[in-house]
Amino acid sequence: MHVDQRRSLSIGTLLLLLMFLLNGRRLEAAESDNPVAARPNVLLIAIDDLNDWVGCLGGHPDARTPHIDGLAARGMLFTNAHCQAPLCGPSRASLLSGRYPHSTGVYQQPRNKPGLAGDRSVFAGQLLPEYFARHGYTTYGGGKITHGYPMQKAFQRSGGQFGGSGPKPGDKTVRFQYAPDLSIPFTGTQTDWGPFPDSDDKMPDHKAASWAIEQIGKSHQQPFFLAVGFVRPHVPFYVPQKWFDLFPLDSLTLPTIADDDLDDVPEIGRKLHELPRYPQRDWLRADDNKQLRLCVQAYLACTAFVDHQVGRVLRAVEQSPHARNTVIVLFSDHGYHLGEKHRVSKHSLWEESTRVPLIVVRPGEREARTCGQPVGLIDIYPTLLDLCGLDARMENEGASLVPLLEQPAAAWRAATITTYGRANHALRTARHRYISYENGSEELYDHENDPHEWKNLARDPAHYDTLVSLRGLLPDRDANYHPVNRPQPVNAWFAEHYQRNRLGVAQPEPPVFDGKSLDNWMTSDGKPVPDGWEVIDGAIHLRKTKKRSGHIVTRRKYGDFRLSFEWRIAQGGNSGLKYRVRKYGGRTLGLEYQILDRKGVGKGSTGSIYALYAPDESKDWTLNPEPEFNTSQIIVVGNQIEHWLNGQRITRATVGDRAWDERVAQSKFSGAVDFSRNRFGRLMLTDHGAEVWYRNMKMEPANVHFDQNSE
């Protein structure tokens, strides 16, 4: 080779190298000019009704979920993750909006029309994929992701739902095993089990996986947010025969079920959790657990089937150019009971219904790790924003899991919360489950010693400190039911609950007192208002008579409220307005705003919470002289109570804290179990023999957070 040739080659090589460096700098400049292009993709995998019966969580020894287990082996498995509502609709509404059910008021399945999309303040334009779309991502959604919100609105490119719950053997009356009694006047279920159809490709989940694989295989100029939702193991438990064959009936492990499991559950806990149209315990366990065995086999078959579909999608990612630049999150919207607590369903505040698989794998991650901190699906929204470098969203009520991804033992919240119906909550800590019902009844379970939640410790004095600390973690308010909630009840308790909360009631709420009649009032045993109570000049008036007329109560029960009213009382008089009134055995009791013709002394003075809390002595307040009226307010928000008089807050208390319990124990109410912890109750006007007037009574819902600094 000539020297000139070598020289020309060297020059050519230098030119090529210079061009490569210049192009590289252009690429770096382009990436710096377009930071979105450098952000990771997101694959969000949602599974319906999958409890902890997956291999990596150890919920059932026969479970076959190699692909979900394989994903857990690559990233962080949260072993103490829980849904925020034990139903598809409210759980997904919470996860996708980043807001708790007790904040939005979406506690039950939402209507499709107008649906959640009709609420622009919380849902429309605010959902997780919509946020990503506004920040430069191309969003794809297919299968079951939303519930009560159109997929085509939630995602820029929607694949639809591919046939809902899947093919059926006939109309709703054709069942393989379980045929519900359709005459029962409550909402029903698709619950049934058996091998059907004859091939995977007829199943919506197979179609959803194929659609997701197609999207992954496309060329993407911008980072993508891809959500794929699988229906199984949602009922009906139908999948092809080959999946049933994996679980022979003669070697199947059945859940451990205690026949007396509900004996120490409070009455409201049993009634709230009733499901009359669902499979019942005796039917499931008859003939040596025949139907329970078939049901468990079918559920395991469905989990194996859906795991296979998950595997197909994961394989597509691994074989794509996006393998090392994709965040993967897998979750279930809630758990499921398979005989435990005498039920085959979700719809509960117990562990089987709230615990869910939750796996987070960051780009390039290949190390199996676990975290036992109490986390929730509410945390997915802020976590994905954090992992993708997007600005935090102030409205999100969950927390980013990134600190736990970095250090599983990092400082974290004490508990995560699940809500089923307004004012019914379960808290799950690292060790305990605490359930608080709207009437103040409680359950407490120690998972360290009782993983099946068989022994309710709420009445055990040895666990009182734990009980008090958990009460303090309950929400300070419970939003009223959002109009989008469907008003169809699953049982008699919810029918009454909906009526009391005016769900589905079109007409406005009647006033507590309209200034004209006592139509909203009655005696505590339901009889008409007795003689002696009357309406004069727009005021309720109790005449002073030789024989007392007796107390009267409202026909309606009230939850959180702000009640304002004006009153005056005759000289030497003693009366009171009670609230949260209900029966305790043979006694009708409630908290009382004490009313006297003078200030009085201590816990029996005007404005006190009678017999429990005296007004604040530091407040300089006075009563108006007779016959002028005084102005009062009673504010009840969750467990917080305030009494106001003539423009000043004079008394406040927290129901259920240590000071409250000590005062109740030393008072005339000590024998009333759970006194005043009920979140709903009637109002009562008392008759203590004094002439008294009430007017301008105005009841408003207290749908604001309790102002700890309000004066």
529-561 pLDDT, tens digit per residue, is 999 999 999 999 999 888 899 999 999 999 899
Residue closest to 338 by CA, chosen among 86, 60, 54, 46: 60
DSSP 305: H
The reported pLDDT for the residue numbered 319 is 97
The reported pLDDT for the residue numbered 301 is 98
C-alpha 590/C-alpha 592 separation (Å) is 6
Contact predicate 216/128, CB 8 Å: no
Question: Domain 34-471: which CATH class?
Answer: alpha beta
The reported pLDDT for the residue numbered 618 is 87
Domains of the chain, residue spans:
34-471, 518-700
The reported pLDDT for the residue numbered 35 is 65
User: What φ, ψ does residue 418 adopt, rounded to 5°?
Assistant: -125, 140
606 burial level (CB within 10 Å; 0-12, 13-18, 19+): buried
**Rg value, the chain, Cα:** 30
Q: Side chain identity at 536, as an amino acid letter? A: I
Report the length, in residues, of the chain.
Answer: 711
Strand runs labelled E in 118-184: 138-143, 157-160
CA angle, 176 as apex, 174 and 179 as ends, to 5°? 65
Q: Is 34-471's fold the same as 518-700's?
A: no
CATH number listed for the domain at residues 518-700: 2.60.120.560
Catalytic residue status for 334? no
Catalytic annotation, pick one of 56, 88, 302, 371: 88
Catalytic residue status for 88? yes
List, run by run, the mean pLDDT of 10-residue segments along the chain (711 residues): 44 48 42 68 98 98 98 98 98 98 97 90 96 98 97 96 91 90 90 97 98 96 97 98 98 96 97 97 97 98 98 98 97 98 97 98 94 98 98 97 98 98 97 96 98 97 96 92 95 95 82 95 94 96 90 93 96 95 92 94 93 92 93 94 96 94 95 90 96 96 48 39
Residue closest to 579 by CA, chosen among 684, 686, 701, 688: 684
pLDDT in tens, 354-389: 999 999 999 989 999 999 999 999 999 999 999 999
Strand runs labelled E in 108-156: 138-143
Alpha helices in 43-198 (DSSP H): 66-72, 88-97, 101-104, 128-134, 151-154
Cα–Cα distances in angstroms (integers) from residue 650 to residues 536, 587, 654, in the given order: 30, 29, 14
Tally the C-alpha atoms within 13 A of residue 49's C-alpha that lie toward its C-beta. 22
C-alpha 327/C-alpha 457 separation (Å) is 41
DSSP 667: S
Contact predicate 686/578, CB 8 Å: yes
C-alpha 273/C-alpha 314 separation (Å) is 37
The reported pLDDT for the residue numbered 33 is 53
Q: Give the tokens for residue 509.
A: 């709420």
Catalytic annotation, pick one of 147, 308, 342, 551: 147
CA 234 to chain CA centroid, Å, is 19
Burial 234-246 (b: 16+ CB within 10 A, else e): bbbbbbbeebbee
Contact predicate 529/687, CB 8 Å: no
The reported pLDDT for the residue numbered 5 is 43
Residue closest to 623 by CA, chosen among 689, 571, 579: 571
C-alpha 43/C-alpha 212 separation (Å) is 10
For β-strands 682-685 and 574-584, DSSP reports them as: antiparallel
Contact predicate 684/657, CB 8 Å: no
C-alpha 631/C-alpha 609 separation (Å) is 16
C-alpha 483/C-alpha 105 separation (Å) is 9
The reported pLDDT for the residue numbered 6 is 41
Cα–Cα distances in angstroms (integers) from residue 106 to residues 93, 357, 371, 421, 670, in the given order: 7, 23, 29, 9, 36
The set of residues, in sequence order, having a beta carbon less than 8 Å from that of 383 and lying 6+ positions away, is 329, 360, 398, 400, 401, 402
C-alpha 615/C-alpha 621 separation (Å) is 10
Residue closest to 86 by CA, chosen among 425, 432, 413: 425
